[in-house]
Structure 1
Amino acid sequence: MAGPPRDALRLDVVDMHTAGEPARIVLSGYPRLEGATILDKRRDALARCDHLRRVMMHEPRGHAGMYGVIPVEPSEAAKAQGASLACLFTHASGYSTMCGHATIAFARFAVERGLVATPAGGDGVARFGLELPCGVVAVEARLEGGAVVASAFESVPAFVAERDASIDVAGIGRVVYDVVFGGAFYAILPSRRLGLAFDAPLAERVGAGMTLFRALRAERPAPLHPDEPDLSFLYGVILTDDASPPAPTRNLCMFGEGQIDRSPTGSGVTARMALDLLAGRLEEGAARRFAGPTGDVFVGSARRDGEVAGRPAVRVRVEGRAFHVGEARLRVEPDDPLGSGFLLFEAEAG
């Protein structure tokens, strides 16, 4: 039987998931990205390699809710801060600046691929620094009998950008929300402010959340990061239940151009923990459980950590567990009219 054409594009990937949210990690076939900083590399990926994002993320090899990880070389500045590895995050509509679920998956991947040192005897915690577009995060993987049973990261400094902001939304009315940076900027509010109980049908909550998301992008200036213009955009909207800290709680995050996070959203957990700690609703070090749409859980705990441009800052530890789905060699045959990828629906929440 004849094999694929010799000039077919090939990408080798490992597929994992964390709380149901996919994490497709590139093994080989992706070109080396250029740039002195990781944000330079992110710009290079967008300018020169975005066709590969579409190949990996879009149909027929992916879908509108796909998510990916592109390992890159850490910058010299990040190495000086303790980073031994680095990666970019990508999805169906672009590139993220932070992703908790993918960091949790990458921690297991890094240990199992021998990219970081592991404890002698196979029990204990492997630790390493990971450079991401939002900065360097401390990552750990807990091993039992040589197997990774949980992964965690400690966030970059998180801070509240706006508290009790408001906007008039057509069909909903005046909506009050907070904007918090947890590696990316999120608008956070309980779903009841959109006129919906958190137990309302998922499609209704997504529809209302996306209506708010579009209004915020169209009518409000993008939130500004004090250090990096590339981080200055609203990445997602997070709807919450009404549980009071530290009781277990639930998240529903819509991000990008309408993707729905199946997980509790690691950077969203970071943002929510920072918001509650700084508002006095949560004690330092107290653990809180967050469930996403699949019901699987991340656990967060937070500590104060100085300031960011005069705003009180918080670092948040988020723990979860990732699982393998498979490995694949993705191919694009040169005469395939759909080989470059497509999305039947441009977003999950039209």
Structure 2
Amino acid sequence: MDSPKLPPHDGAVVCVVDMHTGGEPLRIIVSGYPEVLGATILDKRRYTQEHLDHLRKLLMFEPRGHYDMYGALLTQSEIAEADFGVLFMHNEGYSTMCGHAVIALGRFAVDYGLVKNPTSPETQINIHCPCGLVKAFVEYSNGKTGAVRFQSVPAFVFSTDVKVTVPGYGEITVDISYGGALYAFVNAERFGINVSKSRTRDLVDVATAVTNAVKSQVKLHHPVSEDLAFLYGTILTDGKDAFSDEPSTNICVFADAQVDRSPTGSGVTARIALQYHKGLIPLNQTRSFKSGTTGAVFTGKAVQETVCGNFKAVIVEVGGHAFYSGVASFTLENEDTLKNGFLLR
């Protein structure tokens, strides 16, 4: 059977390429969006929040997506060295950084001709994320793309040993670190759960409780922009922070209790910054991090010291693999009362 033609529909058709990195989905929007206005990438993020959020819901929510869907909208960048800009979207809104998406977008950019004349053994892709410029390096040989590594924006520790009161658990100590987005880190064993064996629902409930506690009790800030000064989520770890050749396992719960299937690229960035800050790893020592949900592994290492405002920071390199899962053209009918999407909670 030939590919089916578009069904009866009203309005624009939105076309996407779907990928996943370590099991975490990425829906890359390739056509059908109106122009995103704004002089800077953060302006474009705000414009999309204020004027185009119905399209996020259309693509992320059911029936076209699901509670844990993730998306990327390519846009123009004001930075001359950037190959393109990107806005990230999820069940709650718009992130400032997404490592699993950068890994997937690296392959996509080469395979779909967003960069001219790719080079072997690696092709560099400069991706302007809302948090800043991220440099991705895509394995490329004989016309085929492979693994991707990226170098982060300056990653830093916001604060360590922060005490917050979590309902049902009392006083909990967390670390807060930035890897393009701010995360709270805490050992899952403090709550009597295991990141690899416990029910996902139990992990989500704990992580969400920690996130809510930090948001309500800790004043966050960022030296570059207040648009970056928000807690994206909580990462529960197995507590194995001292260096080991064995992967350390974690699970990230972000946005509105959304579960990352991958080890979380920006989370690995923030966790490497935290371990470097604590003297647990030196520069250029590679660690492996495993997803508690899929078992997928990312690598990470601090490659350079730098600063971000008054914070001592590091550039972190994260590596992983992304794969294609399909393409789709999404339509809607005006008579459909559920056309704009819905979520089951």
Give TM-score scaled by structure 1 length.
Answer: 0.93
Q: Residue 301 of structure 1 corresponds to which residue in structure 2?
A: 301
> In 2, distance between residues paired with 1:119 and 1:43?
33
Q: Residue 29 of structure 1 corresponds to which residue in structure 2?
A: 32
- SS of equivalent to 2:331: strand
> In 1, distance between residues paired with 2:13 and 2:118?
35
The alpha-carbon deviation at position 83 of structure 1 amounts to 1.1
Structure-2 change in CA distance of 1:118 and 1:322 (3 Å): farther
CA contact (8 A) 1:135 1:156 kept: yes
User: Which residue type is aligned with residue 209 of structure 1?
Assistant: A
CA contact (8 A) 2:99 2:266 kept: yes
- SS of equivalent to 1:9: coil
User: Which residue type is aligned with residue 217 of structure 2?
Assistant: E
After TM superposition, the structure 1 stretch with the greater mean CA deviation from structure 2, 140-149 or 107-116, is 140-149
The alpha-carbon deviation at position 140 of structure 1 amounts to 1.0
Q: Residue 156 of structure 1 corresponds to which residue in structure 2?
A: 153
> In 2, distance between residues paired with 1:107 and 1:207?
33
CA contact (8 A) 1:176 1:189 kept: yes
Structure-2 change in CA distance of 1:140 and 1:3 (3 Å): closer
Aligned residues: 338
Give TM-score scaled by structure 2 length.
Answer: 0.94
Q: Residue 127 of structure 2 corresponds to which residue in structure 1?
A: 130
CA contact (8 A) 2:9 2:332 kept: no
* Unaligned stretches of 5+ residues in structure 2: none
**1:50 to 2:53 alignment:** yes
Q: Residue 98 of structure 1 corresponds to which residue in structure 2?
A: 97
CA contact (8 A) 2:110 2:118 kept: no
- Per-residue CA deviations over 1:39-74 (Å, capped at 9, x if unaligned) read 000011011110000000000000000000000001
The 5 Å alignment of 1:273-288 reads 273-288=272-287
Identical-residue share of aligned pairs (%): 43
Of 168, 187, 193, the residue aligned with 2:190 is 193
Q: Residue 255 of structure 1 corresponds to which residue in structure 2?
A: 254
The alpha-carbon deviation at position 128 of structure 1 amounts to 2.2
**1:63 to 2:60 alignment:** no
- Per-residue CA deviations over 1:111-167 (Å, capped at 9, x if unaligned) read 0011113445xx410002110100001111002332111011100000111110011
> In 1, distance between residues paired with 2:210 and 2:173?
11
Q: Residue 340 of structure 2 corresponds to which residue in structure 1?
A: 340
User: Which residue type is aligned with residue 220 of structure 1?
Assistant: V
User: Which residue type is aligned with residue 135 of structure 2?
Assistant: A
The alpha-carbon deviation at position 199 of structure 1 amounts to 4.1
- SS of equivalent to 1:341: coil
The 5 Å alignment of 1:144-183 reads 144-183=141-180
Which 4+ residue blocks in structure 1 deviate beyond 4 angstroms?
none
User: Which residue type is aligned with residue 76 of structure 2?
Assistant: E
- SS of equivalent to 1:211: helix
* Unaligned stretches of 5+ residues in structure 1: 346-350
